[in-house]
Amino acid sequence: MTARIGVVTFPGSLDDRDTQRAIRLAGAEPVALWHKDKDLKQVDAVVLCGGFSYGDYLRAGAIARFSPVMEPLLEQAKAGLPVLGICNGFQILTEAHLLPGTMLRNDHLHFICRDQKLRVENAETAWTTDYTAGQEIHIPLKNNDGQYVADERTLDELEAEGRVAFRYLDFNPNGSQRDIAGVTNAAGNVVGLMPHPEHAVEPLIGTGRTDGLPFFTSILKKLVNA
C-alpha cells in the first residue's frame, strides 16, 4: 500500500507539478487539489508548494490563505494531518497561523536563487525522520520574501521546544532571524521551510543533488507504517 499526498494548486502556484513528481519519485501517490476544492479528497497528507499565489500581491500568501481549500486543511491540520509548506506554502501557513512568525522581503532586497546549505535541526517531525539531527544538506533556495521574523519570545520558545526544524549554514541568504530556514508546529505534523526540497530529488537536474528526497520518503514511511 502507498500513501496519497495532496498538492494544492492556487492561482499562481508554480511548483505543483514538480512537487507531484517528487512525491512520485519517493514512491507515494500524488493527488492534485484545487484551491476552490471544499474537501481534501481523503488524502493522507498535504503539500502547499512554492510559487507566487495571487502574484504575491498584498503579502506573500495573504490572499491564498482565504481559499476554500484552506478551511478543511486548517481543521484537519489541527487534528494531526501532516502538512508541508514549501516557500510560498510556508508563507501561506504563517498567514493562516498554523506556524508562528512571518516572512519579510529579503534583507538585500533582491530575489535570490542559490544552492543553499542547511542543517536539519529536528529529525523527528512527520517530514524529517529520514534525516538525522544535525545532518547537513544542500537544498535550492529561491525567493523574494524569505526573511523569517518573529518576536523574541516566540523565537526563544521555538528554540526551547526544538521547533526550529532547519537552519541556514555558512551563509544567511535573506537575513532570517537566528538563521531560521524552517519551523514545525509543536505536534510535528505541520512543517514549513523556504528552501525547495522538491527541486533536489534527481541527480543531473537542478543542482544534481538528491538531498530533498528524504522529505517525501519520511512522510511515506510514517503514513504506511501508521
Partner 1 sequence: MARVVVDVMLKPEILDPQGQAVQRALPRLGFDGISDVRQGKRFELEVDGPVDEAALARIHDLAESFLANTVIEDFTVRVEEAAEAVK
Partner 2 sequence: MSRTPLDTVEHAAATPDVELPWAELGLKKDEYERVVEILGRRPTGAELAMYSVMWSEHCSYKSSKVHLRQFGEKAPQSDAMLVGIGENAGVVDVGQGYAVTFKVESHNHPSYVEPYQGAATGVGGIVRDIIAMGARPVAVVDPLRFGAADHPDTKRVLPGVVAGIGGYGNCLGLPNIGGEVVFDACYQGNPLVNAGAIGVMRHEDIHLAKASGAGNKVILYGARTGGDGIGGASILASETFDDAKPSKRPAVQVGDPFQEKLLIECTLEAFREKLVVGIQDLGAAGLSCATSELASNGSGGMRVTLDDVPLRDSTLSPEEILMSESQERMCAVVEPEKVDRFLEICEKWDVIATVIGEVTDGDRLEIYWHGGKIVDVDPRTVAHEGPVYERPYARPSWQDELQADDAGKLPRPATSEELKDQVLKLVGSPNQASKSWITSQYDHFVQGNTVLAQPEDSGMIRIDEETGLGVAIATDGNGRYAKLDPYHGAQLALAEAYRNVATTGAKPLAVSDCLNFGSPEDPAVMWQFAEAVRGLADACQQLGTPVTGGNVSLYNQTGEAAIHPTPVVAVLGVIDDVARRTPVAFQEEGQLLYLLGDTHEEFGGSAWSQVVHDHLGGLPPKVDLERERLLAEILISASRDGMIDSAHDLSDGGLIQAVVESALLGGKGARLIVPDGLDAFTFLFSESAGRAVVAVPRSEEVRFNDMCGARGLPATRIGVVDGDSLDVQGEFTLSLSELREAHEGTIPALLA
Q: Which residues are catalytic?
A: 87, 196, 198
Question: Cβ-count burial of 207 within 10 angstroms (0-12 exposed, 13-18 middle, 19+ buried)?
Answer: middle
CB of 207 to partner 2, least distance (A): 8
- Residues whose CB is less than 8 angstroms from the CB of residue 226 and which lie 6 or more positions away in sequence, other chains included: none
| 222 contact choice in partner 1, partner 2, none (CB below 5 to 8 Å, kind-dependent) | none
- Element housing 12 (H / E): none
Of 41, 104, 185, 190, nearest to 8 by C-alpha is 41
List of residues contacting partner 1 (CB under 8 A): 54-55, 57-58, 63, 66
Q: d(Cα 218, Cα 109) in Å, to the nearest integer? A: 34
Q: Which three cell numbers stand for residue 191?
A: 512543517
Of 108-167, binders to partner 2 (CB under 8 A) are: 108, 110-114, 140, 142, 144
Question: Cβ-count burial of 120 within 10 angstroms (0-12 exposed, 13-18 middle, 19+ buried)?
Answer: buried
| 138 contact choice in partner 1, partner 2, none (CB below 5 to 8 Å, kind-dependent) | none
- Which CB, 97 or 114, lies closer to partner 2? 114
Of 176-205, binders to partner 2 (CB under 8 A) are: 196, 198-199, 201-202, 204-205
| 175 contact choice in partner 1, partner 2, none (CB below 5 to 8 Å, kind-dependent) | none
CA 190 to chain centre: 9
| 66 contact choice in partner 1, partner 2, none (CB below 5 to 8 Å, kind-dependent) | partner 1
Contact call for residues 69 and 75 (beta carbons, < 8 A): no
Residues at the contact surface with partner 2, assessed by CB under 8 A: 11-12, 14-15, 17-18, 21-22, 50-52, 54-57, 108, 110-114, 140, 142, 144, 196, 198-199, 201-202, 204-207
